[in-house]
Amino acid sequence: MSQIRPIKFFSGRASIYLAEQIAKNFGTELGRTSVFQFSDGEFQPAYDESVRGCTVFIIQSTFPPGDNLLELLMMVDAAKRASADKVVAVIPYFGYARQDRKDQPRVAVTAKLIADIISKAGADRVITMDLHAAQIQGFFDIPLDHLYASPIYTDEFKDKSENLAVVSPDAGGIKIARSYAKRLKAELVLIDKRRPNHNQAEVMNVIGEVEGKNILIVDDLIDTGGTFVAAISALKKRGAKNIYGAITHPLLSGEALQRIENTELNKLYVTDTIPLRNLAPDSKIQVNTSAELFAEAIIRSHYNESISSLFDVDKS
């Protein structure tokens, strides 16, 4: 049996708020780091304590700006050069995941590019949550643990499961929506949409019965809010009763926050993979922490235990 190495947690600047909670759930504290900032904007992260022979978990979401991704890569490289035994990149939100295929001429498959760069930087493993497309797991040449946010939300909806329908806002999210429906013993509804342009969505059809039902819309991320708001409008027109949302990654760019607050939505539940600050006390958005789930996954990864047993995701 292989010896269990000492474990240390570190965080990039974008995810300190979450990393502190993950470390606390694990029963430890974040390791010490510093970042030297050059006058031209260039920066250099450094470890302020030894990581030699340790298993190092580096926690950093890679939402914009690109410096968040770059900082993660530099921290992975620095840990390897400091003789860490194993480096695990914990990426609560994996940015650029929407660029997972060549869907038009002369564009990059950026999700694959970033997977290659993370591996090349020296990461031995990646832990992430609710990828935009499950096939991105295959872009990595190192092990990847894919977590699901559904356990964070299902307890919220056990007391709202009566006359409940789970809605996927597009065909790509049908698998995760089926998982929620199975857990909550709810009906499954699909919204057929099209995108005339980037960040624009039009609802074409609602496939399934929603009249008089309570609705739970589930998705991996919400950016401009266009798809989400259009779904709420279409569902209300078809007689839906109370509408809730459970979205993992709250990008909420532009006027998305205002758009959501102005809808007939009852409540939107999101996780803290991306920081949301200055929410009004009466906001329709509630943040649920993912720290406990990540901590449990890290414990299981470190002690070579099963992570997939944490979830009950429909594989059909």
List active site positions.
Answer: 193
The bridge status of strand 285-288 relative to strand 267-271 is parallel
Q: How far apart are CA 240 and CA 251, in angstroms?
A: 26
**Distances in whole angstroms, Cα of residue 7 to Cα of each of 10, 50, 308:** 10, 12, 22
CA 4-10-13 angle, to 5 degrees, is 165
3-state secondary structure at position 226 = helix
Q: Are 12 and 68 in contact (CB under 8 A)?
A: yes
CA 26-135-126 angle, to 5 degrees, is 25
Long-range pairs of 119-125 with CB within 8 A, sequence gap ≥ 24: 121/73, 121/76, 121/77, 121/80, 122/76, 122/77, 122/79, 122/80, 122/87, 123/76, 123/87, 123/88, 123/89, 124/86, 124/87, 124/88, 125/86, 125/87, 125/88, 125/89, 125/301
Q: How far apart are CA 151 and CA 311, in angstroms?
A: 7
Token couple for 283: 């906001």
Q: Are 123 and 88 in contact (CB under 8 A)?
A: yes
Beta-sheet strand order (sheet of 164-168):
202-207, 187-194, 164-168, 214-222, 243-250, 267-271, 285-288
Q: How far apart are CA 119 and CA 125, in angstroms?
A: 8
